[in-house]
Structure 1
Amino acid sequence: MRPMVISADRPDLDREQELDINPFGRFSVMVDSRDVNLGSPQQRALLALLTISANQAVRMDTIIESIWGQHAPSRVKASIQAHVSRLRKSLTGNTSNNSGRTPRVEYCSTGYSLRIDAGQINTQRFEKLVEKGRRLPGEGLLEEAAESFRQALELWRGVPYGDLLHYEFATQEAARLEELRLAAVAGMANCRLKLGDYRSVTESLGDDVRRYPLREDLASYYMVALDHSGRRADALHIYERTRSNLAEELGVDVSKGLRSVYHAILG
C-alpha cells in the first residue's frame, strides 16, 4: 500500500498537529495518524540519520559518508539541501503552528540537526522507559519497574530501521537498541521472579533464550522460572545447553552466577 501524502488543502492550519517518528520496523513518520511520504531512499535515510542524533548537529561529511559513501554525486551538497527542503515541508505538514513540538530540520555551520521533542520519537520513549525500569528496583518498586519494562517492550514493533539496514549507521543503531531490548527483557524477568510471577517469565523468555543461546542472564532467569513451575528437567537442560554453547562458541565455561543457579536447582 502506498503511503498517504499529507494533503495541501487541509483546514485548521494553525492548530498543533500530532507527529510521531517510529523507527521500529519500517521507518515511518505519522502526522495526525497519517503516514507521511518521506520521498526517495536517500531522503528517508537522511531523516533516519538525523533522528538517531536528534537535537544534535550531524556534520555534512558524516551525512555524505553515511548515505552515499564513495559514490557521492558531484553536487551532493545541493542534493542534501533539496532533500532537507522537502523534509521540512513533510514534517510541518500544513500547519503554520511553530510550537516547540513542531519538528524542524535546522542548518548549522557544520551540517544539519533535527530539533524535536524526544517524546515524539518512539525509540527515545523506549529508551526512557528502559532507563526508568532499571532505576525503580533500587527504590523498592518492583511492580512499577516491571510495568515500565513492559511498556518499553510494547513499543517494539520490529527491528529498528528495518527497511534501512543496508546503511551501516542504521545497522549499528539497530544493534544498540536490540541490546537495550534484551536488557529490558532481562530486567522485567528479574522483577517478575522477585514478585513470584514465574509463569509470566516462562512464557516471555523462551524465544529470546533460543535466539541468544550465549546470554547467561536470560538462561539464569529462565532456569529459575522453569524450576519453580515444576519443570526441573527443562531447567537443567537449559543449563547444559548454555554450557555447551559457551564452550563451543567462545571456549569458556559458564559463570559462577549461572553455576550457582544450577546447584540450587539440584538441591
Structure 2
Amino acid sequence: MRFNVMGSFEIIDDHGKVHSPGMPKVCQTLAVLLTRPGEVAGIDSLILELWGDSPPRTATTTLQTYIYYARKMFVTEGLVPADRNPLVTCPQGYVLQVDADRVDAVVFERLVAEGRAAAENGELEAALGLLRRALALWRGPVLGSVHAGRILKGRIARLEELRIRALELCVDAEIRLGRHREAVAELRELVAEHPLNEWFHGQLVSALYRSGRRAEALQAYQDLRRTLREELGVDPSAEVQRLYHELLAPDRSGRPPADRPVVRSAHRTTVPPPRLPVCTP
C-alpha cells in the first residue's frame, strides 16, 4: 500500500487502485494516524481532533467504532490479510504500523531535509534534484478531501510551511548557480501564489535586474509596495528597500546589487524511523 495525504486523501494498493473510506470521520481518524505513522495517537488527541472541545458522552465508544470500520476497510478492500491489520490498539491509543516510506508526506520531509543538507554542503545540483522530487509529490492542498480539526490543522500548516521552505531553497540554489533568467519565471508564479512573501518578491527584483531587466525589477518592487500597503498598511522590509535603492543608484562598476534578502535559516528537519510500540491488533 501507499498513502497519499499531500492532496486528496488516497490509499493506493499494489495494482494502482485508489481506495478511500466512505465515512468522513474514519478518513479523519486515519489522516491523524498517517501524519505520524508508527507513532501512537492518544485517545484524547483523536477525540479532540474529531469533536473539538465539545465531544459527545459516547466519544470513546464512537471512536472505537471508527477504528473498527477502518480495520474492516483494510481487509474487505483486499489491502491486507485479515491477520495482519496495520491498525493496532495500544494502551495509550492507536497506531498505524506502516513503512514510513509508503506515506508521501514522510518522503517529502525526508527529501527536503536531504536537499537542505546538500545545499548547505555546496552540492547545489544535487540539492535541486532532491528538492524538485519533494515538490513533485505535492498534488494540492494537504488532505484537501478531509475535514481537519485542531490536530490536523497544525500538521497541515507544518507541511505547508515546509513546502515554502523547499521553494525558497530551490530558488536560492538556482540563483547561486547563476541561473537568474531561469529563476524569473518561477519567481513570478511564486509571488502570485504568495503575494505577501517578501522573500520571493525580493528575489524576483534581484533576478530581474541581474537578467538585464532593470525597469521590470523596479516595477516588481512597486508591485510589492502597493500590495503590502493595500493589504497590511506597511512598507516593504528594510532589506527589500535597501535592494530597491541599490537599483535606483547602481555603483559605477555596473555590478548588480547583491542578492537580497538572504534565505532565512531554518532548523533541519529529520524523519526518524518509526518507533513500533508493543501493541495488540
TM category (shorter chain) comes to 0.7 to 0.9
Residues 1-267 of structure 1: pairs in structure 2 closer than 5 A: 19-32=1-14, 33-69=16-52, 72-91=55-74, 93=78, 95-96=80-81, 104-247=86-229, 249-250=231-232, 252-266=234-248, 267=250
Contact 1:36 1:90 in 2 (8 A): no
> C-alpha offsets along residues 192-229 of structure 1, whole Å, 9 cap, x if unaligned?
01112223311212222123222121112211222233
1:236 positional shift:
1.4
Contact 1:103 1:117 in 2 (8 A): no
Contact 2:28 2:147 in 1 (8 A): no
Secondary structure class of the residue paired with 1:140: coil
Letter aligned with residue 189 of structure 1: V
Contact 1:165 1:171 in 2 (8 A): no
Contact 2:45 2:151 in 1 (8 A): no
Paired with 1:165 and 1:200, the residues of 2 have a C-alpha distance of 38
TM-score by length of 2: 0.78
Letter aligned with residue 111 of structure 2: L
> C-alpha offsets along residues 114-146 of structure 1, whole Å, 9 cap, x if unaligned?
222211111111111111121112211011111
Secondary structure class of the residue paired with 1:199: helix
Segments of structure 2 that go 5 or more residues without pairing to the other structure are: 251-281
Aligned length in residues: 246
1:188 positional shift:
0.3
Paired with 1:210 and 1:68, the residues of 2 have a C-alpha distance of 36
Paired with 2:69 and 2:53, the residues of 1 have a C-alpha distance of 24
Contact 1:26 1:163 in 2 (8 A): yes
Sort the Cα spacing of 1:178 and 1:265 in 2 relative to 1 into closer, same or farther, 3 A. Answer: same
Paired with 1:53 and 1:206, the residues of 2 have a C-alpha distance of 34
Which structure is higher in RCO with an 8 Å CA cutoff and minimum separation 6? 2
1:250 positional shift:
4.5
More helix by share: 1
Sort the Cα spacing of 1:218 and 1:253 in 2 relative to 1 into closer, same or farther, 3 A. Answer: same
Letter aligned with residue 262 of structure 1: Y
Letter aligned with residue 242 of structure 1: L
Paired with 1:45 and 1:166, the residues of 2 have a C-alpha distance of 7
Matched-pair identity in %? 33
Contact 1:55 1:113 in 2 (8 A): yes
Paired with 2:97 and 2:28, the residues of 1 have a C-alpha distance of 17
Secondary structure class of the residue paired with 1:163: coil
Aligned to 2:279: none
Sort the Cα spacing of 1:150 and 1:255 in 2 relative to 1 into closer, same or farther, 3 A. Answer: same
Sort the Cα spacing of 1:103 and 1:121 in 2 relative to 1 into closer, same or farther, 3 A. Answer: farther
Sort the Cα spacing of 1:94 and 1:126 in 2 relative to 1 into closer, same or farther, 3 A. Answer: closer
TM-score by length of 1: 0.82
1:163 positional shift:
1.5
Aligned to 2:260: none
Contact 1:105 1:113 in 2 (8 A): yes
Letter aligned with residue 159 of structure 2: L
> C-alpha offsets along residues 172-206 of structure 1, whole Å, 9 cap, x if unaligned?
32222111111111110110011122233112122
Letter aligned with residue 25 of structure 2: Q
